Chain A
Amino acid sequence: MRVELTEEQEMIRAMAREFADKEIRPIAADIDRGARFPQETVRRMGALGLLGMTIPPVWGGSGADAVSYAVAVEEIAKACASHAVVMSVNNSLFCEPVHKHGTEEQKKRFLVPFASGARIGCFALTEPQAGSDATNQATLAVRDGDHYVVNGRKLFVTNGREAAAALVFCQTDRALGHHGISALLIEKGTPGFGVPRVEDKLGLRASDTAEFVFEDCRVPVGNRLAGEGMGFKIAMGALDGGRIGIAAQAVGIAAGAWELALAYARERKSFGVPIGQHQMVQWMLADMATAIDAARLLTLKAAWLKDAGQPFGTVAAMAKLFAAETAMKVATDAVQVHGGYGYITDYPVERYFRDAKITQIYEGTSQIQKLVIARAVLGEA
Chain B
Amino acid sequence: MPNAFWCVVEDDRAGHPKKVMAEVLAEAARLSGGRAEAVWLTDRAEPDGLRRLAEWGAGKIWLVEHPGLAPYRGEVWAPVVAGLVAAQAPRAILGAVTSRQREFLARLAARLGVGFAADVVGLAMDGDRLVATRPVYAGKLLARVAWARPPWIATLRPNVFKPADPVAGREPQIERPTVTVPDGALRLAERREEVSTGLPELSEAELVVSGGRGLKGPENFVILERLAAVIGAAVGASRAAVDAGWRPHRFQIGQTGRTISPKLYLGFGISGAIQHLAGMRTSKLIVAVNKDPEAPIFKIADYGIVGDLFEVVPALTEEFKKLLGK
A residues sitting closer than 8 Å to B (CB atoms) are 267-269, 346-347
Contacts and interface: CB of A to CB of B under 8 A. Distances in A.
A347 B256 contact: yes
Interface in B224-276: 255-256, 274
B79 to A, nearest CB: 44
A346 B256 contact: yes
A269 B274 contact: yes
A268 B274 contact: yes
Given A268-B274, A346-B256, A347-B255, 5 more contacts: A267-B274, A267-B278, A269-B274, A346-B255, A347-B256
Contacts of A267: 274, 278
A267 B255 CA distance: 11
Contacts of A346: 255-256
Nearest to B278: A267
A27 to B, nearest CB: 14
A367 to B, nearest CB: 38
Contacts of B278: 267
Interface in B269-287: 274, 278
Contacts of B274: 267-269
A340 to B, nearest CB: 12
A268 B255 CA distance: 12
A343 to B, nearest CB: 14
Contacts of B255: 346-347
B238 to A, nearest CB: 14
Interface residues of B, number: 4
5 contacts: A267-B274, A346-B255, A346-B256, A347-B255, A347-B256
Contacts of B256: 346-347
A302 B254 CA distance: 41
A269 B296 CA distance: 13
A356 B256 CA distance: 22
A268 B274 CA distance: 7
Which of A267, A268, A269 counts the most chain B CB atoms within 10 A? A267
Q: Which 4 A-B pairs have the closest CB atoms?
A: A346-B256, A267-B278, A267-B274, A268-B274
B296 to A, nearest CB: 11
A269 B275 CA distance: 12
A268 to B, nearest CB: 7
A7 B195 CA distance: 46
A267 B315 CA distance: 35
A90 to B, nearest CB: 32
A276 B278 CA distance: 16
A319 B138 CA distance: 42
A267 B274 CA distance: 8
A347 B254 CA distance: 12
A269 B277 CA distance: 13
A3 to B, nearest CB: 32
Contacts of A269: 274
Nearest to A345: B256
Interface in B179-197: none
A94 B278 CA distance: 43
Nearest to A263: B278
A269 B256 CA distance: 18
Contacts of A347: 255-256
A269 B278 CA distance: 13
A347 B256 CA distance: 7
Nearest to A348: B256
Contacts of A268: 274
Nearest to B239: A346
Nearest to B281: A267
Nearest to B277: A267
A22 to B, nearest CB: 14
Nearest to A269: B274
B244 to A, nearest CB: 16
A13 B237 CA distance: 37
Nearest to A344: B256
A180 to B, nearest CB: 55
Nearest to B254: A346
A338 to B, nearest CB: 11
A31 B256 CA distance: 16
A48 B141 CA distance: 37
A267 B278 CA distance: 8
A280 to B, nearest CB: 20
A338 B278 CA distance: 15
Nearest to B256: A346
A178 to B, nearest CB: 50
A166 B255 CA distance: 41
B300 to A, nearest CB: 13
Nearest to B257: A346
A347 B278 CA distance: 13
